[in-house]
Amino acid sequence: MLAGHAPVVAAIRPGILTVTTGGTHQKIIVLGGLAEVSDKGLTVLADVATSLQDLDRAKFADKISDMEAKLAEKDGSELDRAIERLDHFKSIQSQLNSTALH
C-alpha cells in the first residue's frame, strides 16, 4: 500500500485466490466475501473458502447443475444475480479443468 492512501474495502466475487507464503503457493477457492487492503497488507474475509486439494469436484459440478435448474424459478434482479453467480461458478470450474492448475 502506498503511504498516505486510505485503506480500501471491496467485495470479491467467487474465484480462485493464490496465497503465497515463504515461496510456497496455495490455491484457495473463494465463494465471495470482502477484501481489505491496509498498511498491514491484504485481508480476505471469505463467505466460503476451500483449498483446491480439499474441493470435491463432483459436488461442485452438482452445485452448478442445481443452480442452473433453479434459474427457471427466478425473475427480475434475482435472476440477474443468479446468472452472475452461476457464471462465476462456471468460471471457477473452467479454471479447475485447465492444465495450469494441475
Using one digit for the tens of pLDDT, what is the confidence trace for 50-64?
998 899 999 999 999
pLDDT for 99 beyond 80:
no
Measure the CA–CA gap between 67 and 90, rounded to whole angstroms.
Answer: 11
Q: At what angle do helices 76-97 and 57-70 cross, to 10 degrees?
A: 160
- CA dihedral (5, 11, 13, 19) positive or negative: positive
Measure the CA–CA gap between 95 and 1, rounded to whole angstroms.
Answer: 29
| Cell digits of residue 4 | 498516505
Using one digit for the tens of pLDDT, what is the confidence trace for 27-44?
999 988 999 988 888 899
Give pTM, 2 decimals. Answer: 0.75
Q: Where are the alpha helices (DSSP H) in the chain?
A: 57-70, 76-97
